[in-house]
Each structure stands twice: as structure tokens, then as C-alpha cells.
Chains A and B, each alone.
Chain A
């Protein structure tokens, strides 16, 4: 079968030049990152800002901890009650972040794809957890979930307890971190051209397959970002959790509460030791998320 040569394959001269094309590509990419001039100045600003906001407080943390010495540090950081606190904090934050990934996608989808009465109000309500002082949120949630509250009362006959259990902590964290996932996914869905879905449908794919194969990869980086933000915020959350958690040692005592109580006893060294461990672990988690994310979007940045 004789093949009709397409235009740029037909002119033989262009074929071997792929090598040069690649160089052109690299140069264009380099030029692209120079849209804002003054790389030196902007790097300087970035470094100074990061140092002041992040690094200086952190080195202060490390300095404070060093007053304990190695053995003091280990016994403070690895005390069984503290270990249980890490576990509660990490597991509950992780669960809340995962729940919010699922509901974040659903909410963002509904808010961008459908027009219905009250859409704007619902859209505005998403930010409520940020606007509310966390303690207020905590008290309100506790009131609802306790045995006398609406939800807790309804569940009590079924022997399901929310307040003063880990489930309660997850509820508080889910409430507080919901905006992170919704607000990172929503703009991506808004910008996503419908034409990709139509292309999938024209090729005979079901709606479910179009979502799984075409839309989901597009929003994956945003979901990961939202997950990272929600998880990190959940780890540090204190105000809304303390009321609903009940704070039973080894069961529902979160790490930030342990830090607070150590601070209240002027036990700065031990408080910062616990904080430092939390910081390290969450840095590792965030770094991991970043790696996954840059892999996910590497094809299109090429």
C-alpha cells in the first residue's frame, strides 16, 4: 500500500532535523520562565521571605529543643502518651483529608457543572469554616454531635458515639479543611474545556469512562494539592478539635494538645521536641505529595 506522505514528512530535509527542533524547544522553555525580568531580585526576595516566615522560627524550634540534650529529646519525643498523640493526629488528619478529597470533587463538580437555585449561596458557604473562629466551630460541632445534640441524639439509640471519640475528631477536621479541596479543584474544573469530554463521548466512551480516563487525570494535581493542604492543616488544628475530642490520653488526645499542655507547664523543651517530630513527619509527607504531583503533570509541561 502506497502511503501518501504528509507535508512535513514529505520534505526529507525536515526529518533529520528533529535534533535541532529539540534544541529550539529547550530554548523556548528557558525564555518562557523569563517573562518576569530580574531573576536575581526575585530569587532574593523569595529567599528572604522564606527565611523570615519559615526558617527562622524553625531554627528557633531546633534551638529550644537542643536545651534538652539527646536523651531528653528522645524521652520527650518518644514518650508513649506522645506517640499515641502522633497516631491520633496523623490518622485523623489523613482520614479527614481523604474524605474531603472525595467530597471536594463532588462539591466542585456540582458547583461548576450545574445551575440550580441557591448555587451561589452554597458556593459562599464553602468558605464558612475559614471565616468561623475555630473554637466556635468546635463548640457548635460538639453541641450537634453530643448525646443531646441533633445528630448525636439520633445516633445514640444505635449505640454510635461521635463526640469524644476519634470519629468526632475526624468530623471536626473534615469541617475545617473542606475548603482546601473544593477550592483547589473547582477552578481546574471551571477551566477544563468541555471539548475533551465531547471528544471522549464521540469515540463511544460512557460518561463514567470519560470521567475516569479524561477528567480525573486533569484534576489529579489539584486533588493532590488539596489533599496536602487539608492534611497539613488537620495536623496543626487545635481549636476546633479540643472540644469534640474529649482529650482522653492514649485515645483521643491529639499531638497539638500535648504541645499546648506542655507549654502551659512552661515545659518549652519538651513542647518543641514534640513539635519538631510533627514538623519532620509532615515535611516528609508534603515532599512526597509534591513528587507525586509533579510526576502527574510532567507530560503536559514538556
Chain B
């Protein structure tokens, strides 16, 4: 493992910002640290960087314990949220800063800086000051400055937060490709799940100073380990008591749960239904046009189920009574989440639910 955190705790006075945090990241991985505001993402990143010190626990980078190693000697490049470019230095001097600190020869500095300028596509802008650059250019300059001394690990705190929404998507794809190409192990902080899903190889979900789950974007989406991850990643609706639903009556794990839109299928009167014993009566509460599909909100036994409905099928309207099949859901038991399948479906021999 390249970066390892073991039982990290951090207090700000009485407030505990990190609670027994342990995770690790393999070499060459681009990981996202995802969580809502105040969940402790920045604090974790700053502890890895050495800008903040844990009250207990160990941090290892490349097999070495770095708790007592100074920030500047951990071999880490850090891209700050608002870039923190030095206002009184031009692009060249900003990027060269980490190199001149190392007392590199001027010629070596010059060639490294031009190499980086080419990498970020900002040749010819050496003489500009941060105030003369666009948001995206500043971000790329900060990226180049962090990369200049050849760090082994790159940390980025909300690298896209200060950028205009339109440029943000292009820039994050650019950054992802760049990091993959350089092969540098990187961790970036974000509170935007789309960003994490699109950019990261691996996502670490933080909440309330804890790590909820670590896994690939697909893992997190398909099998959330905790109620928080189930509701934070992707679209879902909470259920107060899922055990009243047909096919889930004999379950024993907790009562509350969550469903995703794709876990529910709507039937109108005309189709022949194979699974009569598991279909629920549902009322159409609301319908919204979403372009390629309709977003339909159903009410089943007093609970709300958002789902999707194809435009190709028999039209339905708000107030209609339809029938619906809930073939999967997440059950919450304490702080764990479990994926449950509709038992009637399995028993009826319906076989592969994907054929529905």
C-alpha cells in the first residue's frame, strides 16, 4: 500500500474532526475523498500532507511512518482549494519556487519549467501574474507548481470548486487524463459525487469525521455498505418500513431502507404479469418529463418511490392507479446497509430479474 492511515483521531479543542480513520491507497491510484461539507475531508488531506497533526494514529507513505516528518519533506505536492498562487510572482517563478528551494541549477529549473508549461498548455505565459490569468489557467498553474519538484504523491483539495461549471467538466477530464498519464498516486477532495464517479479509480466516502466506505465508483453505487452511502451516492428514496412490501415481509434486518429508481418497475393494465403475488397497487403522485424518460413518483402503502418510465409505453398521468414491482431494495440495520431481493420473485422461479 502506498498511502496508509491507521486509527487516526483528530480533535479541534473538544470537537472531534476525525474519528478512528483507517484506509489505504495503492500506488498509481487516483482516489477521491468524497463527503458532505464539514465531514472532515480537508482535515484528513492536511494530516496526510503534514499541515495538521493527528492526536493519535499513524500515517505511512511508501512504507515509512511520516508522523514526525515535516510537511515539505514528505514528497507531497499539494494543490490548494483557491490555488494559493504567490501573487507577487509570475507564472515562471511560481512554478520554479519548489525547484529553486532545492538549489537546482538555473538551467535545470528553466528546462523543467518549460516542460511543465508545455504540459499544461501555457507556453508563452511565463511573465503573467496570477491576477492576469483565468480560473482554469490558475488551476493548471497550481497543478504545475505542485508537480515541479517531482512529488511521489499529489493531494488536491477541491481542485474544481472555484471554477465555472461549464469549464469544470472539461478541466476535470483533462486533470484525470493528465494524472493517469503521469501515473502519480493522487488523492483529491470533493463534495460532488458526479465528479468523484467520473474522475476517480477509487472513492473514499467520509461522513461526520468517519470513513463510511472505500471502493470503486461501481461498488459504492451497487453495494453501499452503510445507510449514508446508499443515500449519498446516486439517487434514492428513503423507506420508513420496507417490510410491509410484498416479497420482503419475512426479512429480519431492520425496518427502514432505501430504493433506487431502477429497483421499481411500473405495470399498466395491459401487460400480462408473471409475478401477480408480488405486485403492489400504486398511485401516480407526480410525473416530470426528463427528455429520454419520464420521472414518475409513485405512492405505495404510504411510501414514496421515485422511478422511471419509458416514453414508448402506454402513457400514464398523475392520479392514475398503476401496479408496481419492487424487486430490490436496501435494508438498513443500524449503521449497515444490505441489498435485498424480492423473495417472491426468487420463489416464483422468475429467474433472472434483469429480464423483467
Contact = CB atoms under 8 A, between A and B. Distances in A.
Interface in A182-237: 193, 195-196, 198-206, 209, 213-214, 217-218
Contact of A302 (B71, B132, B149, B178): B132
A248 interface: no
A199 B83 CA distance: 9
Nearest to A220: B88
B89 to A, nearest CB: 8
A200 B97 CA distance: 8
Contacts of A204: 72-73, 98, 101-102, 149
B25 interface: no
A213 B73 CA distance: 19
B171 A6 contact: yes
Given A7-B136, A195-B84, A299-B131, A203 B149 contact: yes
A4 B178 contact: yes
Interface stretch (B113-121, B194-202, B244-252, B258-266): B113-121
A13 interface: no
A199 B101 contact: no
| Most B Cβ at <10 Å: residue of A5, A6, A218 | A6
A199 B97 CA distance: 10
B174 interface: yes
B76 A7 contact: no
B72 A201 contact: yes
B88 A209 contact: no
B177 interface: yes
B78 A199 contact: yes
B68 to A, nearest CB: 15
B51 A198 contact: yes
A54 interface: no
Given A200-B97, A204-B102, A301-B131, A6 B71 contact: no
Contacts of B121: 3, 5-6, 9
Interface string A4-20: 11111110000000000
B134 interface: yes
Contact of B88 (A10, A193, A198, A218): A218
A31 interface: no
A202 B181 CA distance: 23
Contacts of A7: 136, 167, 170-171, 174
Given A4-B181, A195-B82, A203-B98, A217 B88 contact: yes
Chain A interface size, under 10 / 10 to 19 / 20 to 34 / 35 or more: 20 to 34
A298 to B, nearest CB: 9
| Most A Cβ at <10 Å: residue of B88, B134, B136 | B88
A121 interface: no
A6 B73 contact: no
A195 B97 contact: no
Contacts of A5: 121, 174
Interface in B68-112: 70-73, 76-78, 80, 82, 84-88, 90, 97-98, 101-102
User: Which 10 pairs between the two chains have the least Cβ-Cβ distance?
Assistant: A7-B170, A203-B98, A217-B88, A204-B72, A9-B121, A199-B84, A6-B121, A299-B129, A195-B84, A202-B78
16 contacts: A3-B121, A4-B177, A6-B174, A8-B134, A8-B167, A9-B121, A198-B78, A198-B80, A201-B72, A202-B77, A202-B78, A203-B101, A299-B131, A300-B130, A302-B129, A302-B132
Interface of B: 49, 51, 70-73, 76-78, 80, 82, 84-88, 90, 97-98, 101-102, 118-122, 129-132, 134, 136-137, 140, 145-146, 148-149, 167, 170-171, 174, 177-178, 181
Given A195-B82, A302-B129, 16 more contacts: A3-B118, A6-B120, A6-B121, A6-B122, A6-B174, A196-B86, A198-B51, A199-B78, A199-B86, A201-B72, A202-B49, A202-B72, A202-B76, A203-B97, A203-B148, A299-B129
